[in-house]
Amino acid sequence: MKLKTVLFAFLFSVTAVATALAQSDTGKERNGPLITFSETEYDFGTVRTGEEAVHYFVFSNTGNAPLAIVNIRASCGCMASEWTKKPVNAGGRDSLRIEYNTRIKGSFNKTIAVQSNAENGDIELKIRGSVIKSK
């Protein structure tokens, strides 16, 4: 009987501590900008050499402070990127323009690292596709 009481007390304490920790985490309100993308991957499919391969990754600032895109790093020099240099206010939306160089034939699978002042850290975007010879 004593063992059951000790075991019950132990399980009760562990449950109480776990519940308290969970509540303290959910009770915290995030302060600052949060970046949320409508999509983080895009497939260009098959494009011919010389055709335009451009995609706009749309994002929102779901936080409560202005969001600033600090830098965008592409995994290779085969991409060009453009983004607003102005902060995006809380609740605002904008986009990043990514262009792949279609003079390079073959399949591609590339990443773009988006660095910002967002509370949720850096975001990785992905593009893929295949470039074939023009007719």
User: CB of 112 within 8 A of CB of 135?
Assistant: no
Domain carrying residue 119 = 35-132
129 in the Ramachandran plot: left (φ > 0), alpha (ψ -120 to 50) or beta? left
Structure tokens that stand for 20 in this block: 């308290």
Domain co-membership, 54 together with 11: no
Q: Determine the pLDDT at residue 19.
A: 44
Q: Give how many domains the chain has, as a whole number.
A: 2
The CATH number of the domain where 51 resides is what? 2.60.40.10
31-81, pLDDT tens digit by residue? 899 999 999 999 999 999 999 999 999 999 999 999 999 999 999 999 999
Rounded CA-CA distance 104/110 in Å is: 13
Instruction: Indicate whether 78 and 49 sit together in one domain.
Output: yes
In the structure, what pLDDT confidence band is assigned to residue 97 with cuts at 50, 70 and 90?
very high
| 18 and 43 share one domain | no
> Which pTM was predicted?
0.77
51 and 75 fall within a common domain = yes
Residues 49, 83, single domain; the answer is yes
Q: 100: how many CB neighbours lie within 10 A of its CB?
A: 24
In this model, does residue 1 exceed pLDDT 70? no
